[in-house]
Amino acid sequence: MSKENLIQLMSPALREQTEEVIRGLVFTKNFRSATAEEWYVFLPGFKDPATQGAAGKVIVHYDLQGNKEIFINTTVIFDDPKLYEPSLQPLVYAVVEELVNRLVGYANTMLSVHAGENSYQAEYVD
């Protein structure tokens, strides 16, 4: 394949910023019930403009299907409008992939991401 056909999805600056944000990613559990969890997500350089706190939250809802199968509905909601900028779409995707990997491990997951223009849905099936 020639270099003419390659498209770089992330500039070096955005790649560096994304790696820095993922390295600084912190989340804390806010709520837990028998079938759901809510996590606050803290990202370096991003915060909720109203509270000056977490940049967003993750809601993990467990849909038990029998005694062995679990389907997970995961919703990620970003409150910092900077994360809605189309130029940060690759950063949002990378952060969400890391959150899903750390919190639910990709097992039969229906994902919904709310991030303005960077919102999307995905499904992970084991």
Looking at residue 69, which CATH number applies to its domain?
Answer: 3.30.310
Residue 3 lies in a domain: no
Given a contact cutoff of 8 angstroms between Cβ atoms, the answer to whether 41 and 23 are in contact is: no
- 57 within a domain of the structure (yes/no): yes
Domain with 110, as residue range(s), is: 9-124
User: pLDDT tens for residues 102-120?
Assistant: 998 867 889 999 999 999 9
Residue 113 lies in a domain: yes
Which pTM was predicted?
A: 0.88
Q: Is residue 92 part of a domain?
A: yes
Number of structural domains the chain divides into: 1
| Radius of gyration (C-alpha) of the chain in whole angstroms | 16
Query: Quick one: pLDDT at residue 106?
Result: 65
What is the pLDDT at residue 35?
86
Beta strands in 1-124 (DSSP E): 26-32, 36-42, 56-65, 69-78, 109-114, 120-124
Model confidence pLDDT, tens digit, residues 77-99: 999 999 999 999 999 999 999 99
What pLDDT, on the 0 to 100 scale, is given for residue 26?
97
Quick one: pLDDT at residue 62? 86
pLDDT, residue 82, reads 97
CA end-to-end distance (rounded Å), the chain: 32
